[in-house]
Amino acid sequence: MSRELNTIFIGRKPPMNYVLAVITCFNTPDINEVTLKARGQAITTAVDAAEITRRRFMKDLKVSKVNIGTDTVQQEEGGTRNISTIEITLNV
């Protein structure tokens, strides 16, 4: 998780690890919104985590916003590379 209590950065772990993080965030007082952020191949993990949480564990959870975009990353060899990004915002 990040410094912001309601933001979870998705990486290479299995989706269930992030599902647990989402549920933990919503069990924290005064948090009604959680954002999953991912880029590249981790986008599929972010979508899986959001859908597993919504369909199996928190039936009243809603996807309030989905932002997609592209980040430009510098390569070690020189030049740049475009990487897709996604932000999924979940609300209770």
pLDDT digits (tens, 9 = 90+) for 60-92: 999 999 999 999 999 999 999 999 999 999 998
The secondary structure element, H or E, covering residue 20 is helix 15-27
Angle, CA of 15, 29 and 67, to the nearest 5°: 45
CA dihedral 41, 45, 91, 17 (to 10 degrees): -130
Helix, strand, or coil (residue 14): coil
The pTM is what? 0.90
For residue 9, pLDDT over 90 is answered with yes
Helix, strand, or coil (residue 2): coil
Q: All domains of the chain, ordered by start, with CATH?
A: 7-91 (3.30.110.20)
Yes or no: say if 80 and 74 are a contact pair by the CB < 8 Å rule. yes
